[in-house]
Amino acid sequence: MKPSLAKLRAGAQPKPPAESGPYGIAWLVEFRFLDREWYRDRAETDRVVDAFAGARWWGELQSLGRQHLAGARFTSPDEVKDALGTGEPGVVSAGRGEPEAARWHESPDAALKLDVEPGVLTIMFQLARGSFERHADAALTDVIDGVLALADGWRERARLAYGVGFPDPPDRIAFARARPPRTALRRLDAVVDIVDPELPPELVHEAQVDDARAIGTTPTPPGVQRIERGGVIALRWVGDPADRDAMARACAAHERWIAPLVHSEIRTGWNEAGDLQVVIGNRSAGKAEPFSFLDPTDRVAYLEVTVGAGGEVDEAAWAAAAAAARKGVLSNGGKLQGAAVVAQDRAAALRIAERAGAGGLRALYRQGELIWDPFPPGNWSTEATGP
């Protein structure tokens, strides 16, 4: 039995924000069972509810529903147990607000979803806005406690396959990102990882086994809280999740540490050096003077240059390009929106970068048919990745 890797990837690669905005905490947790019909045992489905019913945030949940339908107000954990413990697969959702909140379509301030499938339990949880403000610490602490309690109690029957807590929405914390940006099965911007380093390979994909072992056995930077119970390990990277600056530091430190450890791929359009591919829609050599060619789609012009060991270039061609860039006009009067010089390789582009920038030009380089930007826009970390 293999996991849905698409589920783990879903939403895991947010676009880095330029500025931080309002956020909360969300969780995705998955258990894998040796017994595919585990949900027929009412004691086990009750165990799920008991793990979280004592959480400080539990009272934020007001409406209860099944199968993604609007539900009804509830007051007791026993009602959640009855909804979950039908002996059949299904989804039970609880949310803050009127019965529609149980559908989780309007992103309520508090929401808990328990998805029961053959051999699988998926837990999704989020606190936002007022609910997060009231229970910020509990959004991490009490979920960690509940997940560890389940993992310990199910050690012989089920294993924790995946567990992460992260800022939500995932594009609300601005922090210095690692270059090159990568995609992974795990969230790189998480502030809590919970792993079973001895995850059985027959339950999950091999990559998840490797990732869990690496996370659970690699030393973490100072300040990361390590909580271990029954062989399962939680790594908490932030003390106060309501502290935006602390969250930004935690997300950045976590990404730098975890990216080299887990199975990941460089995001499309980037290379190993952390440079961004420059996409040129059309190349028009005619009417591009004093440049080598123009992309008429975005009105950006490019001058091919050969850079000497000491930064030497064709001075006449450079001066003409710099003058056109300053004026924003080509020799034929055509408007320019941007201009760049394209060196023969990366080292050459670095040698002329300062001079190019002073002249209003981007310093790029060619690699075969591709052109790369060694100074991509964005907030990038200058610290090394790895443990």
Give every CB contact of residue 204 below 8 A, 6+ residues apart in sequence. Answer: 2, 3, 32, 161
pLDDT of residue 384: 64
Laid out side by side, the sheet with 225-229 consists of: 72-73, 63-66, 90-95, 110-117, 120-127, 24-33, 158-168, 192-195, 232-236, 225-229
Distance between CA atoms of 318 and 323, rounded to whole angstroms? 9
24 secondary structure, DSSP code? E
Residue 88 amino acid letter: E
Assigned token pair, 79: 């009602």
pLDDT of residue 284: 79
Pairing of β 362-367 and β 370-373:
antiparallel
Contact 163, 195 (CB under 8 A): yes
Distance between CA atoms of 181 and 264, rounded to whole angstroms? 10
pTM (whole model) above 0.75: yes
Q: H or E element: which one contains 77? A: helix 77-84
Map out the domains of the chain as residue ranges: 5-266, 276-373
Distance between CA atoms of 193 and 189, rounded to whole angstroms? 10
Distance between CA atoms of 193 and 236, rounded to whole angstroms? 7
Distance between CA atoms of 37 and 42, rounded to whole angstroms? 11
pLDDT of residue 1: 40
pLDDT of residue 2: 40
Looking at the DSSP assignment, which residues form a beta bridge with residue 121?
31, 116
Query: Which residue in the block uniquely carries the two structure tokens 């390009």?
Result: 321
Distance between CA atoms of 87 and 301, rounded to whole angstroms? 66
Give every CB contact of residue 38 below 8 A, 6+ residues apart in sequence. Answer: 44, 119, 121, 157, 158
- First and final CA of the chain: distance in angstroms? 32
Instruction: Please provide residue 135's backbone torsions phi and psi, each rounded to the nearest 5 degrees.
Output: -140, 40
Burial pattern 154-180, b for ≥16 Cβ within 10 A else e, equals beeebbbbbbbbbbbbbbbbbbbbbbb
Assigned token pair, 313: 């270039």
Three-state DSSP state, 276:
strand
Q: In Å, how far from its chain's centre is CA 236?
A: 16
pLDDT of residue 100: 79
Contact 352, 307 (CB under 8 A): yes
Assigned token pair, 99: 């019965």
| pLDDT tens across the length of the chain (387 residues) | 444 433 444 334 445 555 567 899 999 999 999 999 999 999 999 999 999 999 999 999 999 999 888 789 999 999 999 999 999 999 999 999 888 777 766 678 999 999 999 999 999 999 999 999 999 999 999 999 999 999 999 999 999 999 999 999 877 888 888 899 999 989 999 999 999 999 999 999 999 999 999 999 999 999 999 999 999 999 999 999 999 999 999 999 999 999 989 999 999 999 999 999 999 988 877 788 999 999 988 999 999 999 999 999 999 999 999 999 999 999 988 899 999 999 999 999 999 999 999 999 999 999 999 999 999 998 898 776 766
CB-based burial of residue 183 (10 Å sphere; 0-12 exposed, 13-18 middle, 19+ buried)?
Answer: middle
